């Protein structure tokens, strides 16, 4: 059966819809998020209880352990990765691991993650015996602290081209970050999965906004003729905002602003509905007029290119890596909120008073 991303385009929340969303109370959103925390805690505990003591020692850490802040999306051969991998799980443990993953993702987000994992098998067929292991079972689950509905803990799902982090502070989930979603091949060109594009909606949204710009707007938005070889902020533990270049949302027309929000919404809608709701509230607080869009490299499909969307609190990057237009990396970073830093800081400040 042929698998494509047709029909799996993210729900679009344009600028007007986002502003209207501000009418939803933060208190109401937080009440809904308790459902997410309940599901996460229950799923994490079921997963941990399914492990032997030896297996649990590989999967579980304290919340304070430095391992919680380690992350990368490269193959295992270039990064020493810890946690309990799918390849060592029983069928039931694997089911429970994916059940936990589903608590943090939307249905379409879980599909995207599964498609990225599926690409490992395609790479193995293409590169078998090469420099890197390509194994759809080399994805690791890690839990930090004791899962509960009112405590502070975190969990991670990570492997090649994926790094997903969820942090719960005193029973309240933070907006999930950092998040990395990448794909190689970006589009499957042959075989039974021809047309599969896990990150197709993200690339298409970026290109749609670029295509909508007139000549004067393009002159501002296109910052370089040559794209960088990777996402710029990468895996810096505490990323600083990039230079405020590109075109500001305030310089875009109404339809173009909606196209800008479509890029953001692709990433937002990867997460569960409740987590996405919190992120949209944060976007509203940032002020859409303060967002910028920047492009580098070729402007046509098949050409090496890069784009980013940046706001006061977040950064989205998308890049064709290694000069290979069929290998893409992308990431979402929260400047103050990665790993729940902002919420943790507020919580500790509150305790100090």
- Within 213-306, where are the H helices? 215-221, 254-268, 273-286
* pLDDT of 7: 33
d(CA 93, CA 85): 10
> pLDDT value at position 9?
35
Stretch (H or E) spanning 188: none
- The pLDDT of residue 351 is 65
Tokens of 161: 């081209």
The vertex-141 CA angle with 138 and 143, nearest 5°, equals: 160
Half-sphere exposure of 312 (CA within 13 A, CB side): 9
Task: Say what the pLDDT of residue 3 is.
Answer: 35
149, 165, 195, 339 from 170: Cα distances, Å = 8, 17, 43, 14
pLDDT at residue 348, as a whole number: 66
315-329: pLDDT as tens digits? 999 999 878 889 999
> What pLDDT score was predicted for residue 343?
83
pLDDT of residue 34: 59
**What local confidence, expressed as pLDDT, does residue 346 receive?**
73
Structure-token match 């490992």, residue found: 120
How do 139-144 and 179-181 pair as beta strands? unpaired
Low-confidence ranges of the chain (pLDDT < 70): 1-34, 128-131, 347-353
Contacts 24+ apart (CB under 8 A), 21-26: 21/280, 21/281, 21/284, 22/281, 22/284, 24/277, 24/281, 26/281
Contact at 8 Å (CB) between 279 and 175?
yes
The answer to whether the Cα torsion of 169, 171, 173, 177 is positive or negative is positive
Dump pLDDT digits (tens) for 82-112.
999 999 999 999 999 999 999 999 999 999 9
* Phi and psi, residue 247, nearest 5°: -100, 135
Q: Residue 83 and residue 70: Cα distance in Å, rounded?
A: 11
Q: State if pTM tops 0.85.
A: yes
Measure the CA–CA gap between 195 and 135, rounded to whole angstroms.
Answer: 21
Handedness of CA 64, 106, 160, 226 (dihedral sign): negative
pLDDT, position 8: 36
Phi-psi region of 250 (alpha: psi -120 to 50; beta: other; left: phi over 0): alpha
In the chain, % helix, strand, coil (3-state, to 5) comes to 45, 20, 40
């Amino acid at each position: 059966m042929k698998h494509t991303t047709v029909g799996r385009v993210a729900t679009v929340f344009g600028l007007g819809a986002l502003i209207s969303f501000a009418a939803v109370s933060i208190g109401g959103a937080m009440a809904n998020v308790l459902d997410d925390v309940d599901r996460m805690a229950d799923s994490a505990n079921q997963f941990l209880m399914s492990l032997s003591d030896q297996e649990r020692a590989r999967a579980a850490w304290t919340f304070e352990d430095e391992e919680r802040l380690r992350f990368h999306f490269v193959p295992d051969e270039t990064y020493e990765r810890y946690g309990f991998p799918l390849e060592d799980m029983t069928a039931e443990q694997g089911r429970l691991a994916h059940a936990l993953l589903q608590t943090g993702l939307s249905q379409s987000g879980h599909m995207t993650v599964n498609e990225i994992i599926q690409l490992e098998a395609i790479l193995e067929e293409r590169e078998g015996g090469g420099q890197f292991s390509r194994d759809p079972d080399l994805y690791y689950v890690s839990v930090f602290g004791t899962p509960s509905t009112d405590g502070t803990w975190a969990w991670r799902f990570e492997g090649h081209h994926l790094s997903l982090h969820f942090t719960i502070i005193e029973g309240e989930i933070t907006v999930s970050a950092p998040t990395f979603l990448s794909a190689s091949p970006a589009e499957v060109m042959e075989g039974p999965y021809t047309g599969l594009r896990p990150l197709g909606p993200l690339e298409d949204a970026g290109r749609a906004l670029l295509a909508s710009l007139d000549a004067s707007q393009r002159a501002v938005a296109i910052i370089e003729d040559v794209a960088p070889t990777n996402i710029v902020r990468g895996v810096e533990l505490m990323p600083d905002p990039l230079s405020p270049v590109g075109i500001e949302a305030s310089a875009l027309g109404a339809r173009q602003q909606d196209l800008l929000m479509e890029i953001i919404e692709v990433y937002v809608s990867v997460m569960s509905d409740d987590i996405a709701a919190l992120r949209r509230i944060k976007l509203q607080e940032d002020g859409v007029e303060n967002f910028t869009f920047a492009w580098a490299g070729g402007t046509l499909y098949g050409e090496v290119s890069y784009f980013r969307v940046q706001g006061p609190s977040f950064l989205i990057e998308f890049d064709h890596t290694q000069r290979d237009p069929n290998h893409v990396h992308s990431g979402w970073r929260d400047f103050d909120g990665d790993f729940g830093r902002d919420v943790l800081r507020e919580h500790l400040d509150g305790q100090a008073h």
